Structure 1
Amino acid sequence: MAGLFNSFYYGKAGKADFTVDNLPKNRRELFFQTLRVRFTGIISINLLYIVFCLPAILWTLINVVAISGALSTGAEGTLDAAAFQNVSGLLTTYLLGMVPCLGIAGIGSTGEMYVLRNWARDDHSFMFSDFKDAIKGNWKYGLLAGLINGLSLFLCYICYVFYGQMASTNSVFFIIPQMFVVVCVVVWWMINMLIFPMMVTYEMKFGQLVRNSAIMVIARLPWSLLWLAVTALVPFILVMYIPYGIPIACVLYLVIGFGLTGFLYASYANACFDRFLNPRIEGAPVNKGIYTETDDDDDDDDIPLPPRPDYSHPPVKRYDDPQPPTGGNADEPPRGEGA
């Protein structure tokens, strides 16, 4: 009985969470069942990821205090031109400083996303060792993606303000490039949902990661917009419309917010990979963690295989490469003879 409750709350670090008899039938079931089993693990991985977010958190707190002080200097709660210029300068400085901070967070995202990707598809993962190994193997691309995240916000703000001023003083047609900049940033942050799971799953160059992520995002545009909107609107609504929303949002993200967002992105990324990438790669698993009829079929191969990977023993090798002959073969010329 104790083992049953431990499985419910903590899962099994080195084993899959389901047997072939109770595999989820679709991705919705897989998401909610793995979320239930791995809930406390998501909290743990969130706390581990927070370490890499500390520079961004501290830099944000410093600038919130500075910007709040600048806003309070406006006459009767309104901003005059000088106060607005001061606030705009502080925002520019803040976003510029966030570039290296998000680069550091991007390094941590590689470890976080590797563990969450495994859990999201009912795969085994040892949190601390896998987190460390994923960072060791992908930190360069994680750093680069994080720096681009910071630059996207910085350049978006600069261009949005510039084109907004041009539209108000010269021509309303400057609204077109202003909105184009916003669209580009939204597309990049949709790409960001897939690029971290992809870089810890496949051996690709960074340009290939961006291109493939962009293709899948556009191909699944309604779903990409939906999941990005869900993860962006929840903190926005908390901060703007809920009493004491700012401290609530801070506590939520310090405890589980980043991990829960990453788990949602990992589940969506797994679905995209199974639809567009894995069927094109020989030997890549498809629909891992979801019940299929082939899970019951053991007659497709001469070598008996378990219906699901059993991580309690070394995996069965599906195809063994023949060893080079040690003696000689009557049907084969000896080494050095024949052409």
Structure 2
Amino acid sequence: MGLLFGNYDKPGPGVPKNAPPLKPVPRFFSILQRKFFDLVKLNLLFCIPVAAVAALCYFVSTITPIVAIDLLPLILLSPFCAGLTFVTRNYAREEHAFIFSDFVDAVKNNWKPFLVNGILVYVFTNIMIVAISYYHNLSSQNIIGTIATVLCIVISYIVLCSQYYVPVMIVTFDLKLTQILKNSLIFAIIGLLPNFITTLLLALLVVLYFVSIIMPLTIIIMVCFTIFLVFAYCSFLINFAVYPLVDKMMIQPYLKMQKENKKDESEDEEVESDFVDRI
């Protein structure tokens, strides 16, 4: 547990409800129903930087045919994920959030670690794409290529799962990015079930996008879904899935430790008071 602790100066899990909590699936749809139009507003807000970055990617693509360079502006989208994450994290733990002001404040307060993480993810992704392609071609010649391909895929999956936790930890805790990355890798391993379910649901969404190109009507539907909901929905889905584990493994033990420290301090004050009275 010592690996997970650090300085916690940002908001905690909030005040628990008096009513008994719903089970995860009903609770997810309950929040989704109540916050649907707020998620739409949040998605439209996030689409502003998305549109700007997409235009920049298109401009770069007219200059160079190298895909890795064409998509480089995607890194600039990373800081805005702070605002998206902060609002959807609050929704996931059933707390209020001011869509515009909290979005902007979260970007201002967390843009540096998000940008650095975005750079790291972009570099890692390109390295893995090249490595998997190379070893996959090599696998037809010997077993080493097959083993290397599988190893690269496993590493990519672990890093992908770790990225479910990085954004929410950045906006929740005052920790160094190195600590957050280390903790995220731990969560990627111990959170097997929520990570797998989240990945499966996101993969199904990607499949729907590929299937939508069959008919013009489905393309229009998916474009509307992208503009009005997809980014906010995915962020909410991820935060809803991973936050309980973060709360269980980091926040609750820390709060318990703080409570015990305050209790010890209170007992020391009582002993000191008795000692003074006796003098």
After TM superposition, the score normalised by the length of structure 2 is 0.77
Matched, 1:97 2:70: yes
With over 3 angstroms needed to count, the CA separation of the structure-2 counterparts of 1:186 and 1:248, relative to structure 1, is farther
SS of alignment partner, residue 124 of structure 1? coil
| Counterpart in the other structure of 2:245 | 272
Task: Give the Cα separation in 2 of the matches to 1:62 and 1:246.
Answer: 24
With over 3 angstroms needed to count, the CA separation of the structure-2 counterparts of 1:36 and 1:206, relative to structure 1, is same
User: 1:237 is matched by which residue type in structure 2?
Assistant: L
Structure showing greater relative contact order (alpha-carbon pairs closer than 8 Å, 6 or more residues apart):
2
- Aligned counterpart in structure 1 of residue 153 of structure 2, from 168, 182, 185: 182
Q: Deviations over 1:237-282 (max 9, x none)?
A: 3313663354433331221001000001111122111221112212
Task: Give the Cα separation in 1 of the matches to 2:177 and 2:144.
Answer: 35
Q: Deviations over 1:84-113 (max 9, x none)?
A: xxxxx95xx2233323x2322210111110
Consecutive unaligned residues of structure 1, counting only runs of 5 or more, are 1-15, 67-88, 286-318, 323-330, 333-339
| Counterpart in the other structure of 2:263 | none
Asked if the contact 2:86–2:168 (Cα under 8 Å) also holds between the matched residues in 1, the reply is yes
Asked if the contact 2:165–2:184 (Cα under 8 Å) also holds between the matched residues in 1, the reply is yes
Larger radius of gyration: 1
Task: Give the Cα separation in 1 of the matches to 2:25 and 2:136.
Answer: 42
Shift of 1:283: 6.3
- Aligned counterpart in structure 1 of residue 133 of structure 2, from 157, 161, 164: 161
SS of alignment partner, residue 204 of structure 1? coil
Q: Deviations over 1:221-242 (max 9, x none)?
A: 1320221121122222331366
Matched, 1:236 2:204: no
Matched, 1:219 2:190: yes
Matched, 1:141 2:109: no
Q: Going by fraction, where is helix more abundant, 1 or 2?
A: 2
Q: Deviations over 1:198-240 (max 9, x none)?
A: 1100111111111111111211213202211211222223313
SS of alignment partner, residue 95 of structure 2? coil
| Counterpart in the other structure of 1:131 | 103
| Counterpart in the other structure of 1:299 | none
SS of alignment partner, residue 281 of structure 1? helix
Q: Deviations over 1:37-91 (max 9, x none)?
A: 110010111111122222543366679999xxxxxxxxxxxxxxxxxxxxxx95x
User: 2:195 is matched by which residue type in structure 1?
Assistant: S
Asked if the contact 2:162–2:188 (Cα under 8 Å) also holds between the matched residues in 1, the reply is yes
Matched, 1:258 2:237: no
| Counterpart in the other structure of 1:3 | none
After TM superposition, the score normalised by the length of structure 1 is 0.64
Task: Give the Cα separation in 2 of the matches to 1:64 and 1:194.
Answer: 32
SS of alignment partner, residue 200 of structure 1? helix
When the two structures are aligned, how many residues end up with a matched partner? 246
Task: Give the Cα separation in 2 of the matches to 1:247 and 1:173.
Answer: 45
Task: Give the Cα separation in 2 of the matches to 1:195 and 1:185.
Answer: 15
Task: Give the Cα separation in 2 of the matches to 1:274 and 1:284.
Answer: 14
With over 3 angstroms needed to count, the CA separation of the structure-2 counterparts of 1:63 and 1:247, relative to structure 1, is farther
User: 2:150 is matched by which residue type in structure 1?
Assistant: M
Consecutive unaligned residues of structure 2, counting only runs of 5 or more, are 1-13, 259-265, 270-275
The percent identity for this pair of structures is 21
| Counterpart in the other structure of 1:209 | 180
Q: Deviations over 1:24-46 (max 9, x none)?
A: 33333332222111100101111
User: 2:29 is matched by which residue type in structure 1?
Assistant: F
Task: Give the Cα separation in 2 of the matches to 1:262 and 1:270.
Answer: 12
User: 1:34 is matched by which residue type in structure 2?
Assistant: I
